[in-house]
A and B are shown apart, each in its own frame.
Chain A
Amino acid sequence: MTTTLTPAPSAVRTARGGGSAARRGARRRAALEWIAVHSLAVAAALFFLLPFVFVFLTAVMTDDQALTRELWPHTWEWGNFATVWNTPGFLTWWRNTLLYAGLGTVLAVASSIPVAYALAKFRFRGRGLAMMLVIATMMLPPQVVVVPMYLFWAKQLDLAGTLWPLIVPFAFGNAFTIFLLRQFMLTIPKEYTEAAKIDGCGEFRTMVRIVLPMARPAIAAVALFHFFYCWNDYFGPQIYASENPAAWTLSYGLESFKGAHQTDWNLTMAATVMIMAPVIVVFFLAQKAFVEGVTLTGVKG
């Protein structure tokens, strides 16, 4: 992703000086455009950035100051983060979130890889239909099947109040993951897989030895997406875990944290910062994989 479309505005050319009036006019227009575009960008940056700033400033205020309209903290109460960290349950929510997101992601990616491979590389009757069904399940609101699913997990398997009803299904492929991996595998030239087969590799070995190493960026991207999906999921834990606080995740627990600290906006904002921060850190560590994955979702159709 580069934006080096045109060389930077005419600093160099200005130095050369002179030129006709027309060229001076063009240069002035380019300079004005530079100013206009960058002013707009700064205005947009304020819109995107200020919410983070105000949330953070409130997170480090004292309880009393958080109840006022003041925007800048008098004293910096870094201890608020420790208070949140030591809230009973907070560590459990962390553990549960990591379990749900970590195990869920590993299972979803591992089980989706062979499916994506078959949909990308095999020719068989019903492949078009299978692909259509994958997309249909991807687009389906989870609420459509939640009632019978809940009855299944709660009444037949007695697993309500745990995260297993959310984790186990990921062992059976995840539509979004299958779709993205398959889109990527389509771009791998078949010369590679055919060469492997001539060398005597079966399909499974071709997939593991040839396709998987080439698909590494796509796998990284879908793993990230999946991890974030679980990290952010609110509906799932609300349905299956709400009755048992020991099974809550961060996204679900954050709400009850607010319930328990009705007037303490500072602590609630500190908790909010602590839930946003890991996601943003992970993003910076894996920015490239992420952006590649986003473009994979739709643009390359």
Chain B
Amino acid sequence: MTTAHSAAARPRAGRGDPALRAKHVRQRLRTAAFLSPWLIGFGVFFAYPLVSTVYFSFMKYDGFTAPTWVGLKNWSYVLGDYPFFWPALGNTLWLIAVMVSLRVVFGLGIGLLVTRLRTGGGLFRTLFYLPYLAPPVAATMSFVFLLNPGTGPANTVLAALGLPEPGWFNDPSWSKPSLTILALWCVGDLMVIFMAALLDVPKEQYEAAELDGAGPWQRFRYVTLPNISPIVLFAVVTGIIATMQYYTEPIVAAKVASGVIGGSGQQFEPGYPDRSTLTVPQIVYNLGFQRFDTGAACVVALVLFALAMVFTAFLMRRRSGFLSAED
């Protein structure tokens, strides 16, 4: 169903016929009317600020004095002198590599588990899903408490078992793994998506594989995985896109774990501990709203935009169903 097709065919038929042409104009106006909320929204809240971001990326502007043209200086500052850019990019890539893949594996595992439960499936499903609903600020605060090195229940239990007690959110080498555990706790969205995919796998294929003597692993490898691989890919790509927006959890964790929360007059140390929880979206905030360096903030915003669009384009190509219009 190509849209160009029907759209091109109509005006040709209508050419020269005033009644048909009037009808065509009416249809266009009607379409525009239905789309108008979004057309305005897209222009004012997306296209205009995006152009503006490009403009400001070449400007020096602190929000008070008039902006002045500085060429590529903001770019060289961000890529060269700004101490947070490379750590933030490194952390975001770490999270994409580790957090996204673990979440997909864990989500698939939980999905498989739930579809195999013959008793209490509904109860377990609800239980596994609940943490996903916890508001991120509340969930993060809970985990900073649970994992706090002094009195946290996690270390209390570890100590009772005679195991080492990590510094979790207060130790630069443990802070990202701690965030990853939090992300695994909130795996309910992937569980539901994988469950639906697993239940859609044709049962005859399993029966055929079993007749051929395939064991559980082989059935998973040669029947389940090929059937659900589009959903796995979908989970990975949307996971990557979500990770590029990963903001609330790391910034709240850093603030709460460092004990420096706005209002007390102390300057909060971004990425506490030791820049280990900085992510790319956080440095847009740091540059634009803490350092009042609009130009540099816009440079980082453009980097983020480019990254997000690459993965979005990939997703749209692989899942053309998003765009298709089988009506």
Contact A234-B133, Cβ < 8 Å, known A297-B193, A301-B322: no
The CA-CA distance from A191 to B31 in the complex, in Å, is 20
Is A132 an interface residue, CB under 8 A from the partner?
Answer: yes
Determine whether the beta carbon of A48 is less than 8 Å from that of B130: yes
Is A184 an interface residue, CB under 8 A from the partner?
Answer: no
Is B46 an interface residue, CB under 8 A from the partner?
Answer: yes
Minimum CB–CB distance for B94 against chain A, Å: 18
Stretch at the interface among B2-10, B97-105, B170-178: B2-10
Minimum CB–CB distance for B323 against chain A, Å: 5
Determine whether the beta carbon of B316 is less than 8 Å from that of A132: yes
Is A99 an interface residue, CB under 8 A from the partner?
Answer: no
Q: Enumerate A255-283 residues with CB–CB distance to B below 8 Å.
A: 255-256, 258-260, 262, 265, 268-269, 272, 275-276, 279-280, 283
Contact string, B280-314, partner A, CB cutoff 8 A, digits 1/0?
Answer: 11001100110000100110011011001101100
Is B153 an interface residue, CB under 8 A from the partner?
Answer: yes
The CA-CA distance from A98 to B15 in the complex, in Å, is 54
Stretch at the interface among A16-24, A77-85, A137-145, A213-221: A137-145
Is B138 an interface residue, CB under 8 A from the partner?
Answer: yes
Determine whether the beta carbon of A143 is less than 8 Å from that of B245: yes
Determine whether the beta carbon of A147 is less than 8 Å from that of B38: no
Is A146 an interface residue, CB under 8 A from the partner?
Answer: yes
Stretch at the interface among B78-86, B217-225, B260-268, B269-277: B260-268
CB neighbours of A134 from chain B (8 A): 38
Determine whether the beta carbon of A45 is less than 8 Å from that of B124: yes
Of the residues A50, A235, A275, A295, contact of B138 by C-beta under 8 Å: A275
Determine whether the beta carbon of A145 is less than 8 Å from that of B50: yes
CB neighbours of B34 from chain A (8 A): 114-115, 117-118, 122, 203
Is A164 an interface residue, CB under 8 A from the partner?
Answer: no
Is A15 an interface residue, CB under 8 A from the partner?
Answer: no
CB closest residue in chain B, given A301:
B321
Determine whether the beta carbon of B231 is less than 8 Å from that of A283: no
Q: Name the prevailing secondary structure of the B interface residues.
A: helix
CB neighbours of A268 from chain B (8 A): 141, 145
Determine whether the beta carbon of A115 is less than 8 Å from that of B37: yes
Determine whether the beta carbon of A135 is less than 8 Å from that of B185: no
Q: Enumerate A143-197 residues with CB–CB distance to B below 8 Å.
A: 143-152, 155, 169, 171-173, 178-179, 186, 190
Of the residues B136, B244, B316, contact of A135 by C-beta under 8 Å: B316
CB neighbours of B214 from chain A (8 A): none
Determine whether the beta carbon of B284 is less than 8 Å from that of A143: yes
Is B56 an interface residue, CB under 8 A from the partner?
Answer: yes
Q: Enumerate A225-239 residues with CB–CB distance to B below 8 Å.
A: 228, 231-232, 234-235, 238-239
Determine whether the beta carbon of A143 is less than 8 Å from that of B285: yes
How extensive is the interface on chain B, given as a class? 35 or more
Q: Name the prevailing secondary structure of the A interface residues.
A: helix
Is A299 an interface residue, CB under 8 A from the partner?
Answer: yes
Determine whether the beta carbon of B50 is less than 8 Å from that of A144: yes
CB neighbours of A125 from chain B (8 A): 3-4, 7-8
CB neighbours of A8 from chain B (8 A): 118-119
Q: List 14 A-B contacts (CB under 8 A).
A: A1-B125, A3-B117, A38-B119, A49-B127, A123-B6, A143-B245, A151-B294, A251-B137, A252-B137, A259-B262, A259-B264, A275-B138, A291-B192, A297-B193
**Could you list which residues of chain A lie within 8 angstroms of chain B, going by C-beta atoms?**
1, 3, 5-6, 8-9, 34, 37-38, 40-41, 44-45, 47-52, 54-55, 58, 66-69, 71, 111-112, 114-115, 117-128, 130-137, 139-152, 155, 169, 171-173, 178-179, 186, 190, 203, 228, 231-232, 234-235, 238-239, 242, 250-252, 254-256, 258-260, 262, 265, 268-269, 272, 275-276, 279-280, 283, 287, 291, 294-295, 297-301
**Could you list which residues of chain B lie within 8 angstroms of chain A, going by C-beta atoms?**
3-4, 6-8, 27-28, 30-31, 33-35, 37-38, 40-42, 44-46, 48-50, 52-53, 56, 63, 110, 113-122, 124-128, 130-131, 133-139, 141-143, 145-146, 151, 153, 156, 159, 185, 189, 192-193, 195-197, 199, 230-231, 234, 238, 241, 244-245, 247-248, 251-252, 255-256, 259, 261-264, 280-281, 284-285, 288-289, 294, 297-298, 301-302, 304-305, 308-309, 311-312, 315-316, 319, 321-323, 325-327
User: With A146-B285, A228-B133 given, can you name 6 additional A-B contacts, CB distance below 8 Å?
Assistant: A5-B118, A41-B113, A69-B159, A111-B37, A234-B248, A258-B141
